[in-house]
Chains A and B, each alone.
Chain A
């Protein structure tokens, strides 16, 4: 008697769990942590406009450190400007992120001009502009055709690069990527999963430089340096803003055939989103980006990758140290 009643209670609890799940948060949306600032909202360069609270934005990002930091910076900065912000960072690679913007799952994410040109708009290596501004204009035009808006780019550029350890470079006498010719068939290359089909990655190395590698192993992009230092990879694809390059004394091979375009970061969103968000959006983003130089971005990446700080915390540090948020 008592037992069956208990079972009924268990069943009831289980059923109420159904309601909890149904009524609970469906998305993993975390409100951005409010950076420390005075109550009046004034002080620092980003000005809060309470009218913006009606606009709800979901900031996304791709799946590596720099992207997570950028996502946090934009999220916290825009929140300081008064927008209602949700975050959905760490989505995946560029195709996943673009699909997320187009489907409306996120409002905006930071893409790189070079990535857009090669991965989205099918530019060939010989058509690539060398000038960052030109690259931005072309990317912007490409996005426009899709109904997307690309805001003006950051000062920093974070380019794909081919990296080897110092030992490998000395042993094989490698200075440029072309030096790999004739030697690459004995070397293993590690890259991200999408590297296989990107013209600024394995595909480009095959087509532009005519290189064949002994083996290509796709790994999670976060491992791009680990595979070099542990000796598993002879060659790896890294980013120029990575702090590990200096720390591990990796050698970046010079892109003598011009395979890599400029990679400045630009915030991409649907045109409707930009219109709805109003002029404050572009203005705030421009303010935020002013101080995103190569050195600063490297420092921020170092704080996450080497100091092991949380990207959200590092973003807050950036915004306060540059005076964008807070009293000083």
Chain B
């Protein structure tokens, strides 16, 4: 009972930590409040860079594969193996094998690799599920392959693509919390270095990271809704079940 009450008290302290800086647990360093801003900035930088790299790599490949229809098996495999690699193992791999690279880039590349599978998969499925009629019509009009991708398939695949980006972003935000283990000071630092920031720091930083993830999810969901053509929204419910793509989607496990 007293532990529960103490826990509730810790929350108040945690909110105080978020907004007011204070002396570290054993004294000597400043933590909390405005001291969190550099951590937040690094967290955002790492997330942004990782997502940028991931999208730059995964989107074109996913679109191309989806357009030609080849590589379904490869995409599924990448998705499965990608899920199987523990984030900490990937970060450790880069740190061990590229010790001379600045740790920021080691972490960013590791996170980018983790972010690729959902985007790749969703881009692939997104393009595959574009109605064949629309594509044939475009081909009939004389559009080249690239033009078809750009003007027909990509816009119609956007909802699913943003779904994949959403999943990846939330994952990267959460995973970036372990970056301090290798020297990249994100919002994970107060969580991991509890003896410096104190319990208030651990809880406070966790709240901030969770809020960040929720905000990202809400923002990207809004974007996802905005890019979904109304017709597709109405049709999605019925056709997803009936079409063969429903099976393919289930196999690959996209997140709508």
Closest beta carbon of chain A to B194's beta carbon, Å: 8
- The 8 Å CB contact of A230, one of B25, B100, B193, B194, is B100
Tally of A-B residue pairs with Cβ under 8 A?
59
B181 at the interface (CB under 8 A from A): yes
Q: Contacts A95-B25, A230-B99, A231-B100; is A194 near B195 (CB within 8 Å)?
A: yes
Give A residues with C-beta under 8 Å from B.
Answer: 92-93, 95-96, 119, 190, 193-194, 196-199, 203, 217-220, 223, 226-227, 229-232
Q: Contacts A219-B182, A230-B100; is A95 near B24 (CB within 8 Å)?
A: no
Shortest Cβ distance from B26 into A: residue = A197
A193: B residues at CB distance < 8 A: 180, 189, 192-193, 195-196
B103 A232 Cβ-Cβ under 8 A: yes
Cα distance A92–B192 when bound, in Å? 10
B84 at the interface (CB under 8 A from A): no
Q: Contacts A93-B195, A95-B195, A230-B99; is A194 near B183 (CB within 8 Å)?
A: no
A194 B193 Cβ-Cβ under 8 A: yes
Given contacts A119-B26, A196-B24, A220-B182, 16 further A-B contacts (CB under 8 A): A92-B195, A96-B195, A193-B180, A193-B189, A193-B192, A194-B195, A196-B29, A197-B24, A197-B25, A197-B27, A217-B183, A223-B183, A226-B99, A230-B99, A232-B103, A232-B183
Cα distance A256–B99 when bound, in Å? 33
Cα distance A220–B182 when bound, in Å? 7
Shortest Cβ distance from A94 into B: residue = B195
Interface pairs A-B: 5 shortest CB-CB: A193-B193, A230-B99, A197-B28, A203-B28, A95-B195
Cα distance A304–B221 when bound, in Å? 50
Cα distance A198–B24 when bound, in Å? 11
B24: A residues at CB distance < 8 A: 196-197
B183 A190 Cβ-Cβ under 8 A: yes
Task: Indicate the member of B27, B182, B196 with the most A CB atoms within 10 Å.
Answer: B196
A218 B26 Cβ-Cβ under 8 A: no
Cα distance A217–B38 when bound, in Å? 13
A223: B residues at CB distance < 8 A: 182-183
Shortest Cβ distance from A99 into B: residue = B195
A95: B residues at CB distance < 8 A: 25-26, 195
B193 A198 Cβ-Cβ under 8 A: no
B69 at the interface (CB under 8 A from A): no
Question: Hey, what's the 0/1 contact readout for B94-117 against A, CB within 8 Å counting as 1?
Answer: 000001101100000000000000
Closest beta carbon of chain A to B114's beta carbon, Å: 21
A232 B26 Cβ-Cβ under 8 A: no
B185 at the interface (CB under 8 A from A): yes
A194 B99 Cβ-Cβ under 8 A: no
A231: B residues at CB distance < 8 A: 100
A229: B residues at CB distance < 8 A: 99
Closest beta carbon of chain A to B93's beta carbon, Å: 15
Task: Indicate the member of B24, B99, B194, B195 with the most A CB atoms within 10 Å.
Answer: B195
Question: Hey, what's the 0/1 contact readout for B79-101 against A, CB within 8 Å counting as 1?
Answer: 00000000000000000000110
A196: B residues at CB distance < 8 A: 24, 28-29, 196
B103: A residues at CB distance < 8 A: 232
